[in-house]
Amino acid sequence: MRFLNLPALMLAASLLWLPFAAHSQTQLQDPDVIVAEVEAFLLSRAQVLPGVPEVVVTPPRISRQAACEHLDTFLTNPQLRSRMNVGVRCLAPESWTLHVQASVSVMGHYYVTTRSINLGETLSFDDLASREGDLLRLPRGVVVDPSLAVGYIAQQRIAAGSTVRADALRDPDSIVRGQPVKTEARGLGFVATGEGVALESGGPGSMIQVRTSSGQIVTGTVINNTTVRVMM
């Protein structure tokens, strides 16, 4: 009868156990750290809106993600929404990526009309009423700053009680397609003025094309509601 070498068996068993022991000792990523990282990231993004932001992050399920020393948070769609899917990746010491669900709200003021506004009318402060709500649940482009509506001109009819959108208004210093304009041509040591017709609409600072009285088409910068500057 052969006797087993007990020391040899013990050594072999310990060698087999080492990989499992090393794996069991690997420290996994703390989900609370990820929650704090995502919350801070979304709160910083929400600061661009004039309201009070609130972020609720769903703690991620950690199964094999090792503790990370350098976390990077990112969005595949930069537009803030009520429900967000935020990416979190580890850059060191081990590479991994997971996605975290979060809900975002920004309570703030927006504006609705107190009466029906007709096409071409100029809005006054009395035409606006403040409302409070979650700005992320409103249509895009809703006016949240009254200075961006008072004195502006309606580009379409706006029903009473409707939210005021930026795309429904135009700057009073803007130029409308088909409008007669003055051209101001500037070059090295000279300035020449002329007249023309705007072939495009545009606000101050935008580039539009103008057909001059001679029939030439030039491109210039809108200065105000009457003048386009052309650099020669």
Compute the distance between CA of residue 109 and CA of residue 104 in angstroms, rounded to an integer: 16
99: enclosing H helix or E strand: strand 96-113
Contact at 8 Å (CB) between 97 and 73?
no
Domain boundary assignment for the chain: 31-105, 107-170, 180-231
**Tens-digit pLDDT profile for the chain (232 aa)?**
454 455 554 545 454 544 444 444 679 999 999 999 999 999 999 998 999 999 999 999 999 999 999 999 999 888 899 999 999 999 999 999 999 999 999 999 999 999 999 999 999 999 999 999 999 999 889 999 999 999 999 999 999 999 999 999 999 999 999 999 999 988 888 888 999 999 999 999 999 999 999 999 999 999 999 999 998 8
Q: What is the CATH number of domain 107-170?
A: 3.90.1210.10
Pairing of strands 153-154, 169-170: antiparallel
Chain length of the chain: 232
pTM: 0.70
The residue to which tokens 């023309």 are assigned = 196
The CATH number of domain 180-231 is 2.30.30.760: yes
